[in-house]
A and B are shown apart, each in its own frame.
Chain A
Amino acid sequence: MKNIQKIVVVLLVFMLALTACSKPATETPVVTDSDEITLVVWDQFYRPEESAVIEALNAEFEEAHPGIKIQREVKVLDDLKMTLKLALAEADGPDIAQVNQGRSDMGAMVEADLLLPLNDYLAKYSWGNVFSTSVASRNSFTADGKSFGQGNLYGVSPTAEVVGVYYNKDLFKKNRWSVPTTFEEFQELLAKIKKAGITPISFGSLDGWNAIHEFSAIQHLLVSSDYINNLTYGVNNVSFDTPENQEAAQILLDWAQAGYFTDGFPGIGYDDCNNNFKAGEGAMTITGSWFAPELMTGTDQEFGFFLLPGLSGKQTMAIGGVGVPYAIRKTTQHPDLAAEYLNWMISPRAAELWAKAGMLPAMSLPENTNVKTNNLFGETLNAWETINKINAVGHYIDWATPTFYDTLVAELQKLLGSIATPADFTAAVQRDYAQFLKEQNK
């Protein structure tokens, strides 16, 4: 008798253990009412000011579409990237999700046939009027997921980004420096600021990725837009080992050796360097428009933004692009409704809400908007509109191959640490690129 009792206890414990590690079975049912439809949306707008924009748009969407409910799930980008691939393969996965651009995310998902091509909706909603073809190609792949920048449209991006130069207006005013209009003037300005005993460019390369921006911002002034497109999309067999890229690397190295960057920059992280800049250390910093909202609050300094000027003042490209796009799961039950939601997220109303939150919308603002633009946000918006208008939106070059990010980070650190010369740098990066092209064409 005693034995049986014990066996029962053991079995109970065992069953308890199993329930503890299995998925909770009592999740909220997807359909609550027989005629109510629920759209499940996964996004990565977790920062409070971003999240508020999405909440407002979702509420307005539900109001305009009676009987439809948005079930929103927010994740940080890294979490989203890690879980989304599996979730999209499930029958009850999210109907709509933000899918990161580039080969290793969107490309892989297209290859696995998880995303719905949006070409029909592109025509239906005239999205061609909302964003340029250059923007659309960033969210496009061929149906086999192999070729980037062409083929079907798989996502629409609500926000935009541009990389340029932030400057401390108070410091500039005090020292009578003016915003340079040519790259030559910019170089002279760097020397002048250094002479005044101030750090010209607040920069730290410990985290690596922002060194890519630093290099590529200069690179974008020296190369053609065709070259950047070919390089990023892996077409027309271009090389990274070019005189222009070597020159850009040389300029970056010269800046480092002339002491134009923060002292000890190899050991400083991105956030630390931004905090220093916000606190008034350093005259300028080179980074993206996402930094603007942070510089508009909680500081007594005034900051401005300009695009890195071209050689002899000629019109040139700037690194830029659109944010993480919304895409639709191929097997969703409600493709039309999901497309309606996507259209909602890139409406003029959405543009207005993003702008009010201090972030660049990928879409134009409505005509009679009351968004304040006589501030730092206005200057980033102006920069974005300038390059967008003349089709000079460059690329994040680390999209080019699945391993390009790692290679660029490691090789740039070697360059800046004087372990490698500019020629070594371009040659090492080219090895990665050539290897990729070889496998691509296999």
Chain B
Amino acid sequence: MPSAALGQWQTTSHNALAEIEAAHRAVGGHGRGRRYATLQINHAYTVMVSSRFQGFCRALHSAAVDVLATATQPANVAVVLRSALMQGRKLDFGNPSPSNLGADFGRLGMAFWDEVRALDARNDARKDRLEELNEWRNAIAHQDFARVGGRDLLHLGSVRGWRAACDALAISFDRAVGMHLGRLVGRAPW
């Protein structure tokens, strides 16, 4: 059984992203006008994939902290543990970059990326795609494309590739965090 965070990613977030796909298909016309409109949609799609994936990762982290705090006694210590594990959480302010993910989940005692890689060797390449997604997200948000080759040109296929990487990583994150918590508290957390 997946976490509630993964459930939301696979339903609510997928539905929202499907609406962007539908908007892309709905753009009519030909030539430069259509290319400009679809480029703007591709940019919006990129930001949305990144922000939705950030929401998933943040929710997974919240759920993990709740599992650890629930397994901690006395309750006075549990609430202090909650504050310590969440203070300055990078996912509250920053992109779901490999570095931020490793730092936030590392605070739970995980060798995060080692455990994610151990589940599926393809996660190494997906991690690179996640980094690329976040570089594009920043380029679009700041309208500074120097770090992504100096051009704002972005094709739908690229965004779909990043989204597919996020889909696969979400499943591995959910499993890796669940297995780690299971080892810590002695039972499957979800």
**Same complex:** no
Q: Which residues of A contact B (CB under 8 A)?
A: none
